[in-house]
Amino acid sequence: MRGFLASSIGVATAAALALPLALSTPALAAPSPGAVPSVAPAGSTASAPVAPAGSTQSLPLVPLGPSADRSSGVPGMSASPRLPETRGLDAHEVKRFSLVGVVWDDASTQLFGRVQVRTRSVRTATWSDWQDVETHNGEHAPDLGAQERGSGRVRGSTAPLWVGDSDGVEVRVQAEAGAGADRAAARLPSGMRIELVDPGGTDPVTVVDAKNGASGSDDEPGDDKGDLTLPGMTMEMAESSSANVPLAALGAKEIRALNKADSTADAVLAGEGSLSAAARPYIGPRPRIVTRLGWGADESLREPGFVYTSTVKAAFVHHSASGNNYACKDTPAVLRSMYRYHVVSSGWRDLGYNFAVDKCGTVYEGRAGGVAKAVQGAHTMGFNTDSMGIAVIGSYTTTAPPAAAVKAVAQLTAWKLGLFDRDPRATTTLKSGGANLFAKGTNVKLHVISGHRDGFATECPGKLLYGQLPPTRVSSAKLQGRP
């Protein structure tokens, strides 16, 4: 697989992927109504500043007994003396964080059980209700046999859950009860830990126009093709940004939208994809795409270089299962948290998805390597080769996806699939890399725009988002100009 690594700019250190030591913290009881908060409220001079690079706290989950007080108030969790294995963490005061997830040692071991957390808000000093964390179980992961999977760093992991700015956490994980005599024998994976992720802030990168030397913003329209980064840009940032040249200047925080005619001309000029003369008219308008630099990715976290496959034959649509409790202005922070969770906590080489779409319909660059290129992701275990993954940020099993997000998926697929001569209404064949529905090497017929559940036994992308895929295929083809 190293033969596919295409860049030599910058070398990420092994230390960047190491889990920071867990903060040693005392147990913290949930405050009673009217109690004085034990931490300073938001805006106070006593509040700890958010580290620009973000951070991860990793706390081990310990065995919990079957007594009623251990599970009282936790919906769906039994207090029976025959309780299946239960692990967790009593109420703890911790450093500030905004996203949580649970990981364990062996990526091949599945977690059969229920994971619930509650968190304390920095802003209000109150505790949330118990929230379920999707157990995930490998459906979003590098393919079996891929070098990324065999790195020795990959761990089992739940989906991440966005909880907002918090400074307290309590966790309960209960194994799924067996049947009959096996009821009390249900076990949890070894090495379980709660990961608390702080997204950190962003440091804007200044650019200078190579033609006249005047400094300015790379977000402005106009001739930014000559922009050069100043010394503030790291080599890792330059490596990631250069993968999108000539679609945008080095250091661009966004790739501008183009109409259909300009998208076609730009793609042909850049030589992207496998454009036949017949396919060229069927490239949809390019949507505006916020780059990794635009959402503040810490490029030192990921593994250096990029891994490509030969083409893009299909797009898998996902939901992030991270909850809907975020504002669109928070999306960059949500992405920084998910990225850190995928790399630092789960042990992947980079963010798993190729693209992300928020509830307002903004499109974001995901895994590094170039938005127009066939970058191998870690989004649909067994089908990461010759495909791309699009995560609609949120949970859409019982909540309808916003119309703006569905429209953005149609726009993104019309452009990206058009670069590779793919009709969004058609079907295609992918070879399974090994997943729970299809044995390794099996040729599987799939929609060019598929839901994650089409390639793996999962609820993703949620019932209500999955129901939007048929009209999305039609809209995407229409944007390509297909009859």
pLDDT at 67 over 80: no
Q: Where are the domains of the chain?
A: 50-198, 207-250, 260-480
- Half-sphere exposure of residue 83: CA atoms within 13 angstroms, side-chain side: 21
Amino acid at 132: D
Q: Do domains 50-198 and 260-480 have the same CATH topology?
A: no
Distance from C-alpha of 394 to C-alpha of 320, rounded to nearest angstrom:
5
Mean pLDDT of the chain: 80
pLDDT tens digits, 331-381:
999 999 999 999 999 999 999 999 999 999 999 999 999 999 999 999 988
Residue 117 tokens read as: 């957390």
Which pLDDT band, with edges at 50, 70 and 90, does 20 fall under?
Answer: very low
Which pLDDT band, with edges at 50, 70 and 90, does 176 fall under?
Answer: confident
Q: Report phi then psi at 476, rounded to 5.
A: -60, -45
What residues contact 264, with CB distance under 8 A and at least 6 apart? Answer: 280, 281, 283
pLDDT at 315 over 90: yes
Top CATH class, 50-198: mainly beta
Instruction: Give residue 160's pLDDT.
Output: 96
Residue 164 tokens read as: 């907002």
What residues contact 44, with CB distance under 8 A and at least 6 apart? Answer: none
Instruction: Give residue 235's pLDDT.
Output: 92
Interstrand relation of 427-431 and 363-365 (parallel, antiparallel or unpaired): unpaired
Higher pLDDT, 323 or 15: 323
CB–CB of 122/167 below 8 Å? yes
Q: What is the DSSP string of 296-360?
A: T--TTTSPSS--B-S---EEEEEE--S-S---GGGHHHHHHHHHHIIIIIT--SS-S-SEEE-TT
Kindly report the number of other CB atoms within 10 A of residue 236's CB atom: 22
Which pLDDT band, with edges at 50, 70 and 90, does 269 fall under?
Answer: low
Which pLDDT band, with edges at 50, 70 and 90, does 463 fall under?
Answer: very high
Entry pTM: 0.81
CATH hierarchy code of domain 260-480? 3.40.80.10
